[in-house]
Structure 1
Amino acid sequence: MKIIGENLSPPARIAIIGAAVVIVLAGARAATPILGPLLVAVFFAMITAPVMAWLTRRGVPQILAAVIVVAGLIGIFAGVIAFLGVALTGFVRSLPRYQAALEAQAAALAGYGIDLGNFTVWDYIDQGFVIQQIAGIAQQIGGLAVDAFLVFVGIGFLLIEAPRLSATLKRHLGAESALYQHLSQSGRLLIDYVVVRTKVNLITGAGTGIFLALLGIDFAILWGFIAFVLSYVPYIGLVVAAIPPTLLAFIEFGPVGALAVIIAIALIDAAAENLVLPRMAGQELNLSPFVVLFSVVFWGLILGTVGVFLAIPLTIAVKLFLDSWEETRWIGELMSAGKGE
C-alpha cells in the first residue's frame, strides 16, 4: 500500500508541510504561558549540567546534587533581585541630581552654539505611564513567583531525569544507531553552546562593568549586569544595554565621556564575539547573521520575552533537527554562515 504523500506533487507536499508548521507555531504561541517556564527550565538545566556532573563524579548522590544546584540557583536569583531592587532605587533617587548635571551640560553645549533649549527629563517621560507600569509589575509579582517556582522545580527534575532519559534512548534506539548518535551529539553541542554563550556574556558584562567603574560612571555594576543579560539577544541586546551608561557618561563627563563609553563597549563586544566566542565554541553551530537577527524577531513573536532571550539556542535546535534528515539538510546548510566553504 502506497503512502498518500508519495502521490502528491512537490508544491502540494510543500504546502502541506508549511500548513503543518504554521499550525504547530500557532499552538506554541497559544501555549506560551506553559512553554515559557519550561524552556527557561531547560535553559538553566543546560547551564548547570556541568556543575551537576562535577558533583556526581565526586560521589554526591544524584538527588542531593540536584538539590544543591537548585538551591544555588535560588540563592543567586534572590541575590540578583535584591541587588536590582537596591540599585534601581538608588538610580531613581539620583534622577534630580542627573537633571541638574544635564542642565549644566546643556549650558556648556550652548557655548558652542548647540542649543538644547529648556530640556528636562520629565518632559519626555509620561509619569502616568511609568506609574501604571510599576503598578502592573507589582500585580504580576505573584504570577512571577509561581513561574519561578515551576522553573526551579523543573530544573531539579530535568537534572535528575537526564541520565535516565539518555539511558532509555540508548537502550531502545541502540548505542550504534545513527539516530541515537546524532541525538547525543546534537544535545552535547547545544549544551556546549549555551555554556559557552554564558561564559562569553560574563566576559562582556564584567568588562563593561569594570570599564564603567574605572571611568567613574555611577551604578557600573548594574550596567555590567544588564550587559551580561542582554548579550543573550544578539546585535540588539548590547546596544540597548549601552544606552543608560552612555547617557550617564554624557551627563557627568559630556560628549567625550559618552563617546568613550560607546567605543569601549563596542571594542569589548567585538573582542568577545570575534575572538573569544569562536575559540570556545568552534564552528559547528555557526549561523548566518541574517538568520541570527531573524530568529530574534521570529521567536520573540512566537514566545514573547522568553523567545527573544532563547532565540539562538532554539534556532540551533531547529538547525540540528534539520541536519538530521537528508531531505531537509539543505535548509540547515542555508542557515549556516558558510565559513570554511
Structure 2
Amino acid sequence: MKINNSSVPARILVYSTFAVILTIGMREISSILTTVFFSIFIALIFAPLVHWFKRKGIPGVLSVFLIVLLLTLIFSVLGVVIVEASIQIGSQLPNYQIRFIEILEMFSRYLPPTEELSVQTILRSVVSLAISLTVSFLNGLISAGATVGVIIVTAAFLLLDTARAREKTEEKAEEESVFGSRLDKFGRNLVGYIVIRTEVNLVTAIGIAIILLAGGIDFAVFWGVMAFFLGYIPYIGLALTTIPPAFFGLLQYGIVGALAVIIAISIVNALAENVIFPSLAGKGLKLYPAIVFLSLLYWNYVLGATGMLLATPLAMVLKIILESFEETKRLARLMGPAEDVDEGKISSG
C-alpha cells in the first residue's frame, strides 16, 4: 500500500508503529544486543591500534592477539579489584553495622518518637536492602564474567575483519563510493567520541581515587573504578558515583566526612565535564540535555541497566548517522549543535 506523501498523519502512524515494533523486538533480544554493541564499540576503539601495529610490520592476526591479551589483562585486573573489595566489605560488615547503629541512634534523638519507627526497624530494612543488593551484585559479576569473555572473542573477530577490510579498501581506493566515505567518517567520529569520553572518565576516576585515598576513605581505588564506568551514564552516573563513598565517609567521619566526600567528588566531576571534556570534544559531539535524558530512559527500558552505559554512545551513533546524509541533517540539528563541516573532524582542543 502506497502512502500519499501529503498524508502526514499516516506517515507518522507508520513510523511510530515501526518504532514500537523495533523497540519491542530489541527488548526481547536485549542480552544479545548488549554483547553486540559492546563488541562493536571495543572493536572501533582498538581498530586504530591494529592498523598502527600493521604499519610497524606486525601481522594482523598477531596484532589482534596482542589486543586480546591487553583486554584480558584489563578486565582481569578490574575483576580482581572488584572481587577483593567485595570480600573486604563483607568481612568488615559487622564493624560498619555497629557504627551505623551509633549514627542512627544519634539522629533518632532529633526525630519524633513513634512506635513503628525505631533504630532496629531502620537497621533491619537497611541490612535487608544491603543483602539483596550484594546478592544481585555477585550474581551480576558471575554473569558479567561470562559476557566479557564473549565480548572479547566477538571483538577479536571484528578486529580481524577490520584489518582485512582495510587492505581491500587500500587496493580499491579509487573505487570508493560516497557512502563508503560517509561510513569512514562515521567510524572516525564515533571512535573519537568514545576515546574522549574514556579519557575524561579515566581522569575523573583517578582524581576521585586520589582524593578518597588522601581522605582515608575505605576502598578508594574501588570507588575510582566504579566512577570510571559510571561516568558513561549521564546525570545519574554522578549520583551513583557519589553515594557509596559518601556513605563510607559518614560511617568513618560522620556528617562532615560525608559532606566533604560529596563536595570533593562534585568538584572533580565539574572540572572534568565543564573544562576537560569541552576542550577535547568538538561541538559536533555534543547533545542537548533533553536528548541525552530521553536516550537514557529509552535504552534503559530496552537493554536494562547496561543500556544506561550505552545510552550516550548510541545517541551519538544516531546523530552521526543523521549528519552523514543531506536528507536527515535537519533532524541531526534537533539532537545537538551541528558539526563543523569545514573541519570535518573532532577537535583536539
TM-score by length of 2: 0.85
Equivalent in the alignment of 2:119: 118
Tell me if the contact between 2:284 and 2:339 (Cα under 8 Å) persists in the aligned partners: no
Query: Deviation of residue 24 (structure 1)?
Result: 2.2
1:216-235 correspondence to structure 2 within 5 Å: 216-235=216-235
Equivalent in the alignment of 2:37: 39
Of stretches 70-79 and 188-197 in structure 1, the one that deviates more from structure 2 is 70-79
Structure 1, unmatched stretches of 5+, are none
> Aligned match of 1:51 in 49, 52, 61?
49
For residue 4 of structure 1, give the secondary structure of its aligned residue in structure 2: coil
Equivalent in the alignment of 1:71: 69
Instruction: Call closer, same or farther: CA 1:217–1:318 in 2, change over 3 Å.
Output: same
Query: Deviation of residue 164 (structure 1)?
Result: 3.5
Deviations 1:102-161 (A, max 9, x none): 3444566678x57896368742236498369728955983x5454333211111111111
Q: d(CA) in 2 for partners of 1:184 and 1:278? A: 24
Structure 2, unmatched stretches of 5+, are 341-349
Deviations 1:66-95 (A, max 9, x none): 011011111221222122111111012112
Instruction: Call closer, same or farther: CA 1:273–1:188 in 2, change over 3 Å.
Output: same
Tell me if the contact between 1:288 and 1:338 (Cα under 8 Å) persists in the aligned partners: no
Instruction: Call closer, same or farther: CA 1:204–1:133 in 2, change over 3 Å.
Output: closer
Q: d(CA) in 2 for partners of 1:328 and 1:137? A: 44
TM-score by length of 1: 0.87
- Identity, in percent, stands at 33
* Amino acid of the structure 1 residue aligned with 2:135: I
1:20-31 correspondence to structure 2 within 5 Å: 20-31=18-29
Query: Deviation of residue 44 (structure 1)?
Result: 1.6
Tell me if the contact between 1:287 and 1:337 (Cα under 8 Å) persists in the aligned partners: yes
Equivalent in the alignment of 1:281: 281
1:18 aligns with 2:16: yes
Q: d(CA) in 2 for partners of 1:109 and 1:99? A: 15
Equivalent in the alignment of 1:271: 271
Instruction: Call closer, same or farther: CA 1:338–1:124 in 2, change over 3 Å.
Output: farther
Equivalent in the alignment of 1:187: 187
Q: d(CA) in 1 for partners of 2:244 and 2:217? A: 10
Equivalent in the alignment of 2:302: 302
Q: d(CA) in 2 for partners of 1:258 and 1:71? A: 40
Q: How many residue pairs get matched?
A: 335
Deviations 1:273-322 (A, max 9, x none): 11111111221111001111111110111122332111111111111222
Equivalent in the alignment of 1:84: 82
For residue 310 of structure 1, give the secondary structure of its aligned residue in structure 2: helix
Tell me if the contact between 1:28 and 1:302 (Cα under 8 Å) persists in the aligned partners: yes
Of stretches 280-289 and 132-141 in structure 1, the one that deviates more from structure 2 is 132-141
Tell me if the contact between 1:109 and 1:115 (Cα under 8 Å) persists in the aligned partners: no
Tell me if the contact between 1:227 and 1:241 (Cα under 8 Å) persists in the aligned partners: yes
Equivalent in the alignment of 1:312: 312
Query: Deviation of residue 37 (structure 1)?
Result: 0.9
Equivalent in the alignment of 1:293: 293
* Amino acid of the structure 2 residue aligned with 1:125: V
Q: d(CA) in 2 for partners of 1:299 and 1:135? A: 21
